[in-house]
Amino acid sequence: MTRRADFLAANAGKRAPMPGFVLLVRPRDDGDSAMRYGITVTKKIGGAVVRNRMKRRFRALVAELLPERGMLGADHVLIGRAGGVERDFGLLRTELAKALKRLSPNAVRPELVKGLPSSFSETGREGRASTSSAQTGERA
């Protein structure tokens, strides 16, 4: 994406804020199934060298994750945050995967699955607070 109008339109879509960036995703609904992406890093983040480094890292992340986890026919915009420059690349990768999963229209959250209670946690325990005695198996 290169046109300002596309970036402004993406701003009206869904967003997933992460510590190193904010991901915006907006379906285009134009019949084209191509996934487009845009990257923006403001001068507030740093000088040209810092901004270009961050954009290179984002491009590498997008090339790796967007083809398999992005939304078809949607615009994806990564907005750099101040903490993103010195953030570990592996951590940025997991955050982008998490953000893409969160904004995916087919994402299934456990609380929305029929038959599971809304307090169902990923460990399989229902509505129980985690305490030291519950973790060790001792009874008070």
Query: Which pLDDT tens digit goes with each residue over 2-47?
Result: 899 988 998 999 999 999 999 999 998 888 888 899 999 999 999 9
Tokens of 38: 């845009």
Which pLDDT value is given to residue 106?
Answer: 63
Identify the residue with better confidence: 119 or 80. Answer: 80
Q: Are residues 73 and 131 in the same domain?
A: no
CATH number at residue 76: 3.30.230.10
69-105 pLDDT, tens digit each: 988 889 999 999 998 888 999 999 999 999 999 988 7
Q: Are residues 16 and 70 in the same domain?
A: yes
Q: Are residues 26 and 95 in the same domain?
A: yes
Q: Are residues 97 and 137 in the same domain?
A: no
Q: Are residues 103 and 115 in the same domain?
A: no
Which pLDDT value is given to residue 109?
Answer: 46
Q: Are residues 96 and 134 in the same domain?
A: no
What is the SS3 string spanning the chain?
A: CCCHHHHHHHCCCEEEECCCEEEEEEECCCCCCCCEEEEECCCCCCCHHHHHHHHHHHHHHHHHHHHHHCCCCEEEEEEECHHHCCCCHHHHHHHHHHHHHHHCCCCCCHHHCCCCCCCECCCCCECCCCCHHHHHCCCC
For residue 48, is pLDDT > 60?
A: yes
Whole-model pTM: value is 0.71
Q: Are residues 46 and 97 in the same domain?
A: yes
Which pLDDT value is given to residue 19?
Answer: 92
Which pLDDT value is given to residue 85?
Answer: 87
Domain residues for the domain of 19 are 4-107
**Number of domains making up the chain:** 2
**Strand-by-strand arrangement of the 36-40 sheet:** 14-17, 21-27, 74-80, 36-40
Hey, what amino acid is at 126? Answer: E
